[in-house]
Structures are given as C-alpha cells and as structure tokens.
Structure 1
Amino acid sequence: MTADTFARRAGTDPETPSTTAQRTQFRPNAKYVLLLGMMCALPAISNDIYLPSLPDVARDLHTSATAAQLTMTAMMVGGAIGQLVIGPLSDRFGRRRPVLIGVSLHVVTSMLCAIAPAIGTLIGLRVAQGFFNAAATVVAMAVIRDRFVGADASGLISRLMLVIGIAPLFAPSVGGAIAGQWGWRSVFAALGVFGVVLWVVVWRRLPETLPAHRRRQGGLRTAARGYATLLRDRHFVALALMPGLSTAILMSYVVGSPFVLMEGYGLTSHQFAMLFAINGIGLVGGAQVNAMLVKRVAPIRIVRVVLPVSLALTLGLLVLALTGAGGLAALLVTLWLILAMVNFAPPNASAIALSRHGEIAGTAAAFIGATGAAIGGLISPLSSLLGGDALAMAVVMVGSATAALLVLALATPAYRRGGAWTG
C-alpha cells in the first residue's frame, strides 16, 4: 500500500458501509455519547471502585496484599480474553445481543463476588467479570465503526474519553464511601446495581447498528480467519498498538505516582488525591481538544505530531528525575503535560485502524482492545520492578513513547511523502 493510499484511508474511507448519508443523518447527542461512554468505562469502574477495598479484602479473607492485588490483574486478563471472543460474536449475531448478555452476566458475577468465601474464588470470579465486561467495551467501539469513519469516529471516541476519564476519577471515592459504610462486599453489590441500570439503558436506547445482511456467518473458523486477516495487515497492527502503548504511559503513572509523590516527596493522601484529580483534568481536557481538532485536521496528522511531542516530554521528565532540577513543581508540570497528551493518539489510531476493516468491525475492535489491555498490563508493573521511584516511572514512560513512535515510523507510511495527505 502506498503512502497516499494509507493517508486517504487514515482520513476518510468512502468505500466503507458507513456512508456519507448515514453520517449526516445521525448525529450523536449527549445521551448517546453518555451511553457509549458508560459502556466503555464499565471495566475501569469495576476495577477503580474496588481499589480502596484491597486492604479490607486481604484482612477479611486472611490472605496477603499480593493475593488481593491479583483480583485486579485477574479482571484485566479476563477482559483481554473476553474482547477476543466477544468481538467476532458481535460480527456474527449483531451488537445488541452480545452486550445485553454480557452486562447481564456482569450483574451475576458481581453478586457472586459479593459472597465469595475465599480469595481463590474471588480471583476466579474477577476473571469472569472482566470477560463479560468486555462485551460492553467491544460493542461500543464496533457501534462507532458501524456509523462513523475517519475524523467523525475519532471525534466521537474523543468525546467518550470525557465519560471514560471522569468516571474512574470518582469511582475510588464512591467505592471507599460504600465500603466504609457497609464493607467491601457491598461494593460488588453496587456494581451489580450499576449493571442493572446499564442493561436497562442499553435495552431501551441502543439500536442495532449491524443489519442481518452485513453479519458474518460461521463459527470459530470464521473468527480465526478474521483475526488472521487483521494480523496480515501490518498497518492495522501498528495502529492497534498505539492505544496500548499510550495506556502503558498512563498506567505507569497510576502505578508509580503513589510511591513517587507520597513516599518520595512526602505528600499526604489528601494532597495526592487532589493532584490525581488535577491530572485527571489534563487527561479529559486533552481528549476534548482532540475532538475539536479532528474537525479541521486529519487524524493521521495528529498522531504523527503528538507522538514526537510525547517522547520529548517523557525525556524531559527523565532529566528532571535524574537531576532533581526544579523540584516537585517542575516534575508535576511535566507530568501533567504528558498526561494531557495521552488521549490524543488512541482515538485517532483506533479510528484509522477500524476504518480499514469495517466488514469485521467487532473483531477489529476486540483486537485493539485486547492488545491495549495486554500491553498496558505487561508494561505498567515495570516501574515498580525498577524501584518504584520517579526515575523508574520516567524510564517506563520514555520506553513506551519511544516504542510508539518507532512503530508508527517503521510500520506505516505516516512519515513518508504523502503520508499526511488528507485526500
């Protein structure tokens, strides 16, 4: 594929099932964006609302802190597997049925988690919960691809980041309040209630966006062929890696910042919570700037500019961590800027990647989601393994940003002549 062809597909793709007429006839309102955003945020909420309860879980179930933390990892593993399985199912049976079944089973597993008698049982149930939660995320992304391509899809995904970014910011506080009043098991009961509400809203408000004549027939063999098709498209695979590498930068901050700021710089838990919220504003704000920017600039242009800027900022953080120049203030400002850039690449890269395989949008969305979860899950713990200080966090961020830039430069024609042409 030539650079011009890649760039045309990276901007708009007139040959996809989402026609221009469709896109002009349907404009997502705030309620629609909120629905898709809550679907995408379900896994994050299910993890973050539970964070303050980890010490209580370890104490109540007579286990170690490490074993309690495995309940978090277990859900991420289940989510990655679930996306790979449920994506093709949504291409076969439509969008509504898989998400309604998945959210229903989320409710069931949440209630079972609330009565789990031992840590092993809880870990197994969290794997199942992550698996079923994946239905909401995969279907939300596939629905976007069914109706939008290029800049329209990227803009909508960026709008979703407002919901996806805000919900987890409040989830730990809500979870802590619930657990403080009624115990950690009540947190899972609350997740079950949330699932019931989400199911009702999906049932009433989410239309079927994949008509019967566009559904793929077949079983496991068809699904395998779909993934084989994606793997043979190296440009798709390269773009699919971008959200995961951005997630690795974000998760390095999430995992490392409590140790860096509270132990390294002596911040109190209240001060840390305030800074966490301020950085969350940067995350959400960056996504909204991107949503406005894609109306004027092709998504591929944004990606090719943002990645070098992100690398430069992470290198700046590394220098500050090594030298201590500027003290805490300089570190916090640089960190805020890095996080503000995190949500630029994922929506644009995802939209471009999905536009390449509209006929198997569910499978493509599953591949992107599972790859992101796997990369983020594998890379983010490295900061703790490397020492858990500011230097370790910066090193992981630099590595992730470097990898993202190299993948874009070497595996796509984005930086070649014509690679940023909008068509």
Structure 2
Amino acid sequence: MSKQKYFFLILILGSLTALGPFSIDMYLPGFPAIAKDLNTTAAKVALSLSSFFIGISAGQLLYGPLLDRFGRKKPLYAGLALYIAASAGCAAIHTIDGLIALRFVQAVGSCAAGVASVAMVRDLFPVKDSAKVFALLMLVVGLSPMVAPTVGSYFTEAFGWPSVFLTLGVMGALMLVACVLWLPDTYTPDTTLSLKPLPILTNFWSVLREPQFYTYTFAGAMAFCGLFAYVADSPLVFMDIFKVSTKNYGWIFAFLSIGLIGSSQVNSYLLRRFQSEQLVFWALVCQVLTALVFLLLTVNGWIGLGGTIALLFVFLCCLGFSSPNTSALSLAPFTRNAGSASALLGAIRMSMGALASMGVSVFSNHTAVPMVAIMTVTSVLALLILVLGRQTIRVQVAVSDMLEPVH
C-alpha cells in the first residue's frame, strides 16, 4: 500500500470515527441557548447527551451483524443517510423532548460510521499495524474536541444553536459522498450469517467469552468512563462553577484534547520499543494515581481553575495511551466476525460511558466532586479488571504478531 493511499484511507476512516464525537462536542457550548429557546433547564438539555450515548450503544449492536452479513458499505450508507435526516430534524425541533428523541436517532445513524471504520481497520491493515492505525485514527478523532466546541460556540453566537445541527448534517453528507467515491469495499459479505435474534446473540456470545476480548474491552471501557464524566459535566464545571465564558470554554476544551491526541501519537513511537500490554498497564496505573490526587484536592477545595485544567490534561494523556492499545488487543483474536467484535466493543464502551454521564447528573451538587469521584472509581475498577482478567488469558494474540490470527 502506497503512503498516499495509506494516508487517504486513514483520513476517511478517521473522519467516520470522529462523526460521533464531533456530534457530541460541537453542541456543548450551546446548552444555555438551547435551554432558553426550548423553555427548559440545562440539566434537561443534558439528557439529550445521555440519549445520544444510549443511541450509539444500541446502534453498535445493530450494525455489527449487518456489517458482517451485507458487507461494510451498504449499512454504512444507510446509517449516514439516517444521520443526515436526524441532524436536519434537530435543527428544526421546538421541544426538548423532541430534541432528546432525535438525538437518539442521530446517534444510531452516526454509530454506523464508527463501527464500520473500526471493522475496516481489521480488514485493511495487518494485525501488527492495528495499534498504530488506531492511534492515527485518534489523531483525526482528536481534532473533534480541539475544533468542535470552539466552532460550535462561534456558530451558536453568530447564527443560533440550530446552525450547529445543520453543519453536522452537511458533514454527514460530505462523508457519504467520500465513502461512495473513494472508500474501497473491504469485506466479502458472509451470507451464512443469520440476522435472526438467536444466531446474532450466539455470535455476540462467542465474541464475549473470549478472555482476551472481555479483559481489554471492559478494562478499556471502564477507563474511558472518566472521559464521558468529564464531557458531561464540563459545561457545569467551567461555565457555571468557574464562570468561564462560552468561547473560552471552547478553547479550554480544545486545549485539554491536546493531552488525549498528543499522548496517542507518542504511543505510536513507544510501540516500537514496548508491547501494547505493557503500555496499557502503566497508563492505567498513572490514571489511577492522577484521579486519586484530583479527588483529594477537589473534595477539600484545594484546587482552582488552573489546577483542574492541569489534572484533567494529565488524565486525558493516560487515556491516549490506554485506549488505542485496549482496542487493538480486544480485536486481535478475530477475523471472520470482526464486525460483531468491533460492534460489541463499541456498545460496551458507550453503554458504560452513558451510565457515567448520567451518574454525574444524578449526583450533581454544584461542585466538581461527582465528576472527579466517577473518574476515580472507574479508573480503579479498570486497573482491577485488567490485572484479574489477564490471569484468564491462556494464549494471548499479540498486536505485534506477524501472522493473522484465526478465530
């Protein structure tokens, strides 16, 4: 594969992967404006974020079997078309309940892009390159929190919050065109796979009972819960508690994303000297220590805006190391049902993230304590799952393996 083609594929797959995160981040600065226009509260607007997380989680399980049964492109086209329609609906809606419902539909459409892109990594690239490819995808995904909130804040102030959803719809349309014209068909449909509920559940169960899959999937998902807690509570923490302006909130969010994206790229270089398994372990150890310090300072009121930003930056750096490696290690044992494996991986991560985001709202007390407490508890659980789960793996498929694994 030429370097030009390699770069172009990464760009398309990265854009597909970023569609969901961009849909989350871009409208965050508009929470106060949406609440005012729809005659509701910011807390009720936050439910549209939770419904989006739930929609992505449910949609992952829907698209996994479809991607294996019909190939990668047809379900991807259908999902993007649904996303475009839902985005237009969000821009035109006049009730908060309608927005919550349409955000669910929008999420179901967007996750087709996410599931397909992850599965295509397994189709297009050797197993030994998968962790590096996932890190490159995170480079593109990292542009979302760097750009989306800032762009969203300016669009909201200049044209109103509906313009954010119109912009997302246009992005979805451009991605659909790019996929039709330039994305290769990477997978031969498996017509032997049934779409009846029992065979689908059996297929998911065969993936889930793989020790390497459940160890790194649940450890990675639990670690990632901290990111969801941060995203859900960041409008309250920065704009309400620390009285940051809408535009400055967008810039802070962009700065913090540098930690996530920068560390994911450093991870690519470290993979030349270390195994993914080693990087995951030490990243989670650092994440736990950071979260414990953050919680101690927050509970006692010993931390201000600068300290909060600094510790969030370090926390996100840890995720930049753990996330691409846990994803690669989770999918390494699979070839034939890589679509179902990637769907289950995404569904578990998003469903646990949705619970974390709702937990922040449930325990909200107008301080940063609920957010930091959830970040701490989930980080500790992630490390425990990793340590205990590794003991159940008899033969681990290494990401650095030169041979294609057979499942």
TM-score range, shorter chain: 0.7 to 0.9
Give the alignment of 1:290-329 within 5 angstroms.
290-323=267-300, 329=306
CA distance in 2, matches of 1:233, 1:420: 14
Give the alignment of 1:357-368 within 5 angstroms.
357-368=334-345
Distance 1:97 1:422, change over 3 A: closer
Counterpart amino acid of residue 282 in structure 1: G
Aligned counterpart, 2:144: 167
Aligned counterpart, 2:390: 412
Aligned counterpart, 1:104: 81
Q: CA deviation digits over 1:373-413, x for unaligned, max 9?
A: 11111113434515353443332222111111010111223
Counterpart amino acid of residue 290 in structure 1: N
CA distance in 1, matches of 2:24, 2:77: 20
Give the alignment of 1:44-63 within 5 angstroms.
44-63=21-40
Q: Is the 8 A contact 1:320 1:330 kept in 2?
A: no
Aligned counterpart, 2:7: 30
CA distance in 1, matches of 2:101, 2:28: 18
> Residue 367 of structure 2 is aligned with which of 355, 368, 389?
389
Q: Is the 8 A contact 1:242 1:346 kept in 2?
A: no
Task: Show structure 1 runs of 5+ residues with no match.
Answer: 1-23
Question: Taking structure 2 as the reference length, what is the TM-score of the superposition?
Answer: 0.88
> Residue 207 of structure 1 is aligned with which of 175, 184, 195?
184
> Residue 194 of structure 2 is aligned with which of 190, 212, 218?
218
> Residue 402 of structure 1 is aligned with which of 380, 383, 399?
380
Distance 1:276 1:59, change over 3 A: closer
Where 2:184 maps in the other structure, the secondary structure is coil
Q: Which moved more, 1:92-101 or 1:269-278?
A: 269-278
Aligned counterpart, 1:114: 91
Aligned counterpart, 1:91: 68
Q: Is the 8 A contact 1:151 1:298 kept in 2?
A: no
Q: Calculate percent identity across the aligned residue pairs.
A: 32
Q: Which moved more, 1:288-297 or 1:157-166?
A: 288-297
Q: CA deviation digits over 1:70-100, x for unaligned, max 9?
A: 2222222111111101111000111111111
CA distance in 2, matches of 1:154, 1:373: 20
Q: CA deviation digits over 1:271-316, x for unaligned, max 9?
A: 5444332211111101111122223322112112211121112122
Distance 1:199 1:416, change over 3 A: closer
* CA positional deviation for 1:146: 1.4
Give the alignment of 1:345-356 within 5 angstroms.
345-356=322-333
Q: Which moved more, 1:73-82 or 1:319-328?
A: 319-328
Q: Is the 8 A contact 1:414 1:420 kept in 2?
A: no
CA distance in 2, matches of 1:354, 1:421: 9
Q: Is the 8 A contact 1:248 1:400 kept in 2?
A: yes
Aligned counterpart, 2:405: none
Q: Which moved more, 1:407-416 or 1:37-46?
A: 407-416
Q: Is the 8 A contact 1:383 1:389 kept in 2?
A: no
Distance 1:231 1:110, change over 3 A: same
Q: Is the 8 A contact 2:129 2:399 kept in 1?
A: no
Q: Is the 8 A contact 1:256 1:388 kept in 2?
A: no
Question: Taking structure 1 as the reference length, what is the TM-score of the superposition?
Answer: 0.85
Counterpart amino acid of residue 367 in structure 2: D
> Residue 102 of structure 2 is aligned with which of 99, 106, 125?
125
Q: Is the 8 A contact 2:55 2:108 kept in 1?
A: yes
Where 1:217 maps in the other structure, the secondary structure is coil
CA distance in 2, matches of 1:418, 1:237: 12
* CA positional deviation for 1:267: 4.9
Q: CA deviation digits over 1:227-255, x for unaligned, max 9?
A: 11122223312211233223211122233
> Residue 163 of structure 2 is aligned with which of 186, 195, 216?
186
Distance 1:216 1:205, change over 3 A: farther
Counterpart amino acid of residue 290 in structure 2: L
RMSD: 2.9
1:76 has 2:47 as partner: no
Aligned counterpart, 2:404: none
Distance 1:387 1:419, change over 3 A: farther
Distance 1:118 1:334, change over 3 A: closer
CA distance in 2, matches of 1:60, 1:185: 10
Where 2:337 maps in the other structure, the secondary structure is helix
CA distance in 2, matches of 1:344, 1:44: 18
Q: Which moved more, 1:273-282 or 1:393-402?
A: 273-282
Give the alignment of 1:2-17 within 5 angstroms.
none
Q: Which moved more, 1:196-205 or 1:65-74?
A: 65-74
Count of residue pairs brought into register by the alignment: 399
* CA positional deviation for 1:48: 2.1
CA distance in 2, matches of 1:388, 1:125: 28
* CA positional deviation for 1:421: 11
* CA positional deviation for 1:195: 1.3
* CA positional deviation for 1:58: 3.2
CA distance in 1, matches of 2:238, 2:90: 33
CA distance in 1, matches of 2:183, 2:117: 10
Distance 1:165 1:417, change over 3 A: same
Q: Is the 8 A contact 2:22 2:145 kept in 1?
A: yes
Counterpart amino acid of residue 70 in structure 1: L
Q: Which moved more, 1:97-106 or 1:86-95?
A: 97-106
Q: Which moved more, 1:316-325 or 1:409-418?
A: 409-418
Q: Which moved more, 1:150-159 or 1:118-127?
A: 118-127
Distance 1:204 1:184, change over 3 A: same
